[in-house]
Amino acid sequence: MGKDRFGVPSSRGSLLKPSSETHGAARRAAGIARKNLYGRGSPRALRPRERALLKELLPTLSVPGPLEAGALDPFSLFPSSVRSVSLEIGFGAGERFLEAARARPQTGFIGCEFYRKGIARTLSAFAAAPMANIRLYEGAGEEILDSLRDASLSEIAVLFPDPWPKRRHRRRRFSQAASLRSAARALADGGLLWIATDSPIFSAWTLMQAERVGSLFWTAARAEDWRRSPYPGVQTRYGRKAARGGRGVTHLLFRRAARADFL
């Protein structure tokens, strides 16, 4: 089996080998409105290798488009050995995302990110140790959530999203009630939504918004439950930064209620 210029076996991309035109269609996300993204989507100049990874390797791992509301079966993106699918929104440089995928080969992992420097770093790490259970989406988390079929995910992780602490920016926060409802729709019964933050403002806002979503239940029974990660292991860059700064991290874990309970 041959390898491409990044050392990835050439047949690895055959499961999802969209053309540049198809990849562009995915970026336009026909049928789903593109969300206005705030932040560092276009960072300082990328290195030549990073540009090459984004141009050549990213399309082989990307969720194919065009995206349509509620139409995407995530299991169709992975080998038949995959038994469950996890979505991580805002995977940063991919440290935790790739480690989780490596530890759980029977779970398909979809990573969503719009920070191109982080995507490039994730691709570089992936090229050094390829896996069959990774797919990526460059864009907003709300877009990929809206595209997924009902009850198709076992878990969703949203780790250290921008807290937008100023009141006038609160509508930019990920954890709007509408986004949480979309997450609940995509989760299978009993599925988990994990939101980690070092911002007390964001955690309080998230709990307030979650109360408006009747199908998500906060699992914490005592303070220790939200002080420790439900998935200990490799931390994200922001998790390490919070630890160095002495800021406590809040781990909000919500469970999706059984749909039969609402009939």
**Residue 19's pLDDT is what?**
37
DSSP, res 9 = B
Please write the tens of the pLDDT for every residue from 176-219: 999 999 999 999 999 999 999 999 999 999 999 999 999 999 99
pLDDT of 7 over the 80 cut: no
Please write the tens of the pLDDT for every residue from 117-138: 999 999 999 999 999 999 999 9
Under 8 Å CB-to-CB from 47, ≥6 apart: which residues?
Answer: 120
**Residue 241's pLDDT is what?**
74
Active site residues: 162
pTM comes to 0.83
* pLDDT confidence tier of residue 36, bands split at 50, 70 and 90: low
Strand duo 153-159 + 216-218: pairing = unpaired
Q: Which residue has the higher pLDDT, 163 or 35?
A: 163
d(CA 16, CA 254): 32
Average pLDDT over residues 217-226: 94
> Please, what sign has the CA dihedral across residues 179, 152, 101, 225?
positive
Alpha helix positions (H), the chain: 20-28, 48-52, 58-61, 95-103, 116-128, 141-147, 177-186, 200-210, 223-227, 237-244
**Residue 183's pLDDT is what?**
97
For residue 253, give both structure tokens: 């874990």
Check if CATH label 3.40.50.720 holds for domain 10-262: no
d(CA 141, CA 143): 5
* pLDDT confidence tier of residue 35, bands split at 50, 70 and 90: low
Domain segments of the chain as ranges: 10-262
Please write the tens of the pLDDT for every residue from 71-104: 999 999 999 999 999 999 999 999 999 999 999 9
